[in-house]
Amino acid sequence: MSTIGRRVSESKELVRISDRVSFLYLDRCVVNRDSNAITATDERGTVHIPAASVGVLMLGPGTTVTHQAISLMSDSGSSVVWVGERGVRYYAHGVALSRSSRLLEAQAEAVSNARSRLRVARAMYAMRFPGEDVSGLLMQQLRGREGARVRAVYREQSERTGVEWKRREYDVDDWESGEPVNQALSAANSALYGIVHSVIVALGCSPALGFVHTGQHRSFVYDIADLYKAEISIPLAFDIAVEETEDIGAVARRRVRDAVYDGKLLSRCARDIQRLLRDESEVDTADFDEIEFDVLSLWDGRTGVVAGGVGYGAGHGDEF
């Protein structure tokens, strides 16, 4: 089917993010295109999915995707993310779901200023310490508070399950040599990182521009994932250690998958990221389900931005 001369969809024609299926996972199938739908074909038959109804398409193991399918997903304002089994490991991504650079610019601006960076870091810690006032704490104090909190979480989970806890340690070159609870923690955290990474890139943000973590290409991923570890990966790891299962890694990934689905973590993560990066004056009225489709503008040193698609020359106020 030829696409020569096909008109690109306008933003007003696309389905609102709040009306879309947020994340669709496919594996072991061929993904193609039929008109304005993507198709998933395996030995059971073919399923048609309206492309504009999908927020992020997650392609798991065994998928083959055509150029036409990717072209349609891009035109529909949908992101494509290549992931591991059941979506728990992130590998790569296509076009971001958002066609606006607004969140990325807000992230870069906030992380580049010490005062705003501390503000976002405090907001992150406030999410971890509900009911506690951290508005006056410096980064050194926040780190100390976090360290105490994590130790308390490990101690509580150890008492709950009866699993002995010594310390967090693992050898990346000899993963199986670690204690079962540490193996489970490593596998669960890895799955959580992949899921958070996919949300970050779908929103058009940078995984590298972290506020607490820094200097690594997934710094922001670690920032956001830390918001959920005490709720998801740490309790799951202690539960798995009690069971004395042989394939700890596989069990941990499945448990994280189920916890993410049951707790609607994907939509919650997207909302948390936007709340952290948006201007405080926008938070109360923000539509966190709606991803923006801004028109292309030009940067201006005086006014900030000016309209794009305009011939600026004589008569437009240029000074030479």
Annotated binding site for Mn(2+): 146, 213, 226
Reading the block at residue 211, the tokens are 């506020």
Q: What is the 3-state secondary structure (H, E, C) of 33-64?
A: EECCEEEEEECCEEEEEEHHHEEEEEECCCCE
Query: Residue 166 corresponds to which amino acid?
Result: K
End-to-end CA distance of the chain: 51
DSSP string, the chain: ---TTPPPPPGGGSPPGGGSEEEEEE-SSEEEEETTEEEEEETTEEEEEEGGGEEEEEE-TT-EE-HHHHHHHHHTT-EEEEESGGG-SEEEE-S-S----HHHHHHHHHHTSHHHHHHHHHHHHHHHSTT---TT--HHHHHHHHHHHHHHHHHHHHHHH----------TT-GGGS-HHHHHHHHHHHHHHHHHHHHHHHTT--TT--SSS-SSTTHHHHHHHTTTTTTTHHHHHHHHHHHT-S-HHHHHHHHHHHHHHHTTHHHHHHHHHHHHHS-HHHHTT--TTPPP-PPPEEEETTTEEEESS---STTTT---
Q: Which positions make up the binding site?
A: 146, 213, 226
